[in-house]
Amino acid sequence: MTDPIRLLLVDDQALVRGAMGALLELEDDLTVVAEAGDGAQAAERAREVGPDVCLMDIQMPGVDGIAATRLVREVSPATRVLVVTTFARPGYLRQALDAGASGFIAKDTPATDLAHAVRRVHQGLRVVDPALAEASLFEGANPLSEREQQVLRLSADGRAISRIAAEVFLSAGTVRNHLSSAIGKTGTENRAQAARTARDKGWI
């Protein structure tokens, strides 16, 4: 009998981790060896146990799932990352794959399909939710530059342009230019709408 596939579960909600773990442990060839509640913990656990597959949430406090995917792949290159998220958005899909994820599926995926996705990712295959893959093709790439993404993220809570400028070491005029460009690219009327649209599409 071959060794079971060793799993690391990463989600900021303990109940979600517990439910997912209980379902996956029903499979004879899968075993949960570690859990983490945020991205920083995920990297630590990956370094400690070297799991075969890491099931990664996206929206978590501190280090999010996209950044955590990069970290896990750096500290444990043999670990495959399967993103399992409520936020099934085309922009997130592209970011996750760019960060080194091998798969991207929604949390409402049936347990048997989730287990199958884990096995496929472990085999070195790529697994992407078909509907999301199609949406991603039609959505196109993220039109925002890195700077535009950065200032939009910082402006989402309504903070002053002068404060944003100080945080990113740019002049207030340059920050305004980046925000104006982002507003144009998102087809919105102000920076609050631009940030909301960009977040909904998974661009920031």
Within a 10 A sphere around the Cβ of 119, how many other Cβ atoms?
16
Mean residue pLDDT across the chain? 89
- How many angstroms from the chain centroid is the CA of residue 22? 23
Phi/psi for 116 (5° steps) reads -65, -40
Q: Is CATH 1.10.10.10 correct for 146-200?
A: yes
**Domain map (residue ranges) of the chain:** 5-137, 146-200
As a 3-state breakdown, the chain gives helix, strand, coil percent values, each rounded to 5, of 55, 15, 30
Q: What's the pLDDT tens digit per position in 53-102?
A: 999 999 888 888 999 999 999 999 999 999 998 876 767 887 888 899 99
Q: Which of 87, 97, 83 is nearest to 202 (CA)?
A: 87
User: Which pLDDT score is estimated for 17?
Assistant: 93
Q: Across the beta sheet with 127-128, what order do the strands follow?
A: 30-36, 5-10, 53-56, 80-85, 103-106, 127-128
- Please write the tens of the pLDDT for every residue from 26-42: 999 999 999 999 999 99
Q: Predicted confidence band at 115 (pLDDT cuts at 50, 70, 90)?
A: very high
pLDDT at 14 exceeding the cut of 90? yes
Low-confidence winner among 20-24, 76-80, 194-198 (lowest mean pLDDT): 194-198
Amino acid at 180: S
Are the C-beta atoms of 66 and 58 separated by less than 8 Å?
yes
Overall average pLDDT of the 157-177 stretch = 91
Look up the pTM and report it: 0.68
Write out the DSSP string of 129-151: -HHHHHHHHHH-S--S-HHHHHH
In percent, the amount of the chain with pLDDT more than 70 equals: 92
* 8 strand-pairing partners: 34, 54
* C-alpha to C-alpha distance for 98 and 106, rounded to whole angstroms: 18
- What pLDDT sits at residue 88? 65
pLDDT of residue 142: 77
Interval 106-121 mean pLDDT: 91
CATH fold for domain 5-137: Rossmann fold (3.40.50)
Q: Which two tokens mark 48?
A: 């400690």
Look up residue 7 and give its amino acid. Answer: L
